[in-house]
Amino acid sequence: MSSPSTSLLKEQTVLPADEVQLFNAVEDKYGGVMVYMEEPMDLNEGFSYHHAESDYLMLVYWIPDAPDTLPANASHIVGIGAFVMNDKREVLVVKEKNGFFKGKDVWKFPTGVVNQGEDICVAAIREVKEETGIDTEFMEILAFRQTHQQFLGKSDLFFVCMLRPLSFDIKKQDSEIAAAQWMPIDEYVNQTFNRKHKSFEYIAGICLTKSERNYGGFSAVPTPTSSGKLPYLYFSGKDFKPW
């Protein structure tokens, strides 16, 4: 039986010349053209996929003889973990209903994914609020970790953020969070899980160091650009004061 896509190609092949349709295309600012396809297509014409979002698919075909210098597809997912400690040296911790920690008896920091277009320091405040109902103020990035081959081959950047609590009554989210509480920091650090897994042990150690004495994290400083944007620059605000 002939497949639908074969039929599709045959139908195009036998079109009379006066019925041949040009793709609708617009020139882009890089000297190329963007073709907005109304129809599905296969990849027989030298095109390859560049990337897709939920409502569109981008195909690319590099015409010059020179090597392809198309911008790379996005390569990283970005996440945050939130270290929130109150004046009694208790840290805000949760147990998760799903994912890697499901069923494990581990109290962990609130964590979450930074949305496209969202600032890391804003995402940390949002995730803490969503999971525990606690309001916070962003203080510093204490550390970050880069891992590879996470979801579908993509890499992951995970930022450990220190936040100062502005409220204290926990209202946990029901769909993702099994339990939430304030826990003495030493009890958090000494959990068996944290002592068995090096990256958790190091991160817990960094947070304990920060709680006890001097530890130089990175502050978040909005930095105006000529295009009117205000991206955050993260650096040692203790050692460099631009104003």
Pull the structure tokens for residue 183: 């826990």
Specify the residue, 65 or 169, whose C-beta has the smaller distance to a copy of itself: 65
Strand partners, 5: none
Our answer to whether residue 187 is catalytic in this structure is no
Binding-residue total with a copy of itself (CB under 8 A): 91
Sketch the per residue contact string, 67 through 96, with a copy of itself: x for CB under 8 A, - otherwise.
x-x-xxxxxxxx------------------
Q: Report the site for a copy of itself in 167-196 (rule: CB under 8 A).
A: 175, 196
Q: Report the site for a copy of itself in 1-40 (rule: CB under 8 A).
A: 1, 3-5, 7-8, 11-12, 19, 38-40
Ranges of beta strands (E only) in the chain are 25-27, 33-35, 48-53, 56-60, 76-84, 90-96, 111-113, 136-147, 155-165, 177-184, 219-222, 232-235
Which of 130, 131, 140, 187 is the catalytic position?
Answer: 130
Considering the complex, what minimum distance in angstroms separates the CB of residue 33 from a copy of itself? 15
Instruction: Give every CB contact of residue 64 below 8 A, 6+ residues apart in sequence.
Output: none
Which of 54, 63, 87, 105 is the binder for a copy of itself (CB under 8 A)? 54
Site stretch for a copy of itself (CB under 8 A), options 82-90, 102-110, 180-188, 230-238 = 230-238
Which of 24, 25, 33, 48 is the binder for a copy of itself (CB under 8 A)? 48
Cβ contacts of 209-212, under 8 Å, gap ≥ 24: 210/83, 210/142, 210/162, 211/85, 211/89, 211/185
Site stretch for a copy of itself (CB under 8 A), options 85-93, 124-132, 163-171, 205-213 = 205-213
Binding flag, residue 233, a copy of itself (CB under 8 A): yes
Site stretch for a copy of itself (CB under 8 A), options 89-97, 125-133, 179-187, 197-205 = 197-205
Separation between Cα atoms, residue 33 and residue 29, nearest integer Å: 9
For 93, 171, 176, the CA distances from 132, given in Å and listed in that order, are 9, 5, 11
**CA-based nearest residue to 232, from 130, 133, 74, 123:** 123
Instruction: Give every CB contact of residue 42 below 8 A, 6+ residues apart in sequence.
Output: 5, 9
Considering the complex, what minimum distance in angstroms separates the CB of residue 81 from a copy of itself? 12
Active-site amino acid positions: 130
